[in-house]
Amino acid sequence: MQKPARTIGSYLWALSPLYTLGLATPVTMLIAAARLRSLRMWLVWPLYIALTVLWVGTDPDDESAMANVATAAFMLSIVLGTGHALVIRRRVFDPPDSLENAEAEARRRRDLRDQAAEIVRRSPEMALEMRIGRPDLPRPYDDGGLVDVNHAPASVLTQIPGITPELAAGIVQVRAETGGFVSAEEVAAMTGLPPALTPRLAEYGIFLR
């Protein structure tokens, strides 16, 4: 989530083609290209330079067709530049791979896990019907990465941090032999999981029967 100062700054940047009457448009897009490291933006940037040069370099008293083209370039530099900057504003100032965003996303998914786990505790039957812990099945929501250890296939079990394909295969085999598990501790005891994985299994795993 953007901080207030960053949000204000991002809007000042995005609206700069408007309040500078297009003069800042090339600089605005240069900043975007550099921050996004986008080939597409680097290819678009010369277009904004050309628009600005076209209308700045045209005699305002010229009444020829060229003057009409320059007027169109002037308007495009302002309108197109402002619209483009507003569209990409969040990507430029709040990139998805920033540490701040990653932390916010991790907290959001933890909250989703807590909410879904509460449904599991309150009503296991409803949780089964909702397919909580089953990202391999169609469902219209995100449960934050919970995994139904007693029903999910091995490929889904590997989504639990630290669970390798080999460990997942072992869990599935023991599950088939015993009919399922009741807790992360039981999974660890019956399958020989490394002790360090038990807390992770407890956080991400649910055990519907």
pLDDT of residue 67: 76
* Number of other CB atoms surrounding residue 173 within 10 Å: 12
Angle between helices 39-56 and 65-93 (to 10 degrees): 150
Tell me the C-alpha distance between 62 and 70, whole Å: 10
pTM above threshold 0.95: no
Domains of the chain, residue spans = 4-93, 100-206
Could you report the per-residue pLDDT of 123-158, keeping only the tens digit for each?
Answer: 999 999 999 999 999 999 999 999 999 999 999 999
pLDDT of residue 32: 93
CA distances from 67 to 56, 60, 73, 177 (A): 11, 7, 10, 82
- Per-10-residue mean pLDDT of the chain, 209 residues long, equals 75 94 93 89 92 80 72 90 93 72 86 96 96 95 96 97 96 96 96 94 96
CA distances from 112 to 38, 136, 145, 203, 208 (A): 33, 18, 8, 12, 18
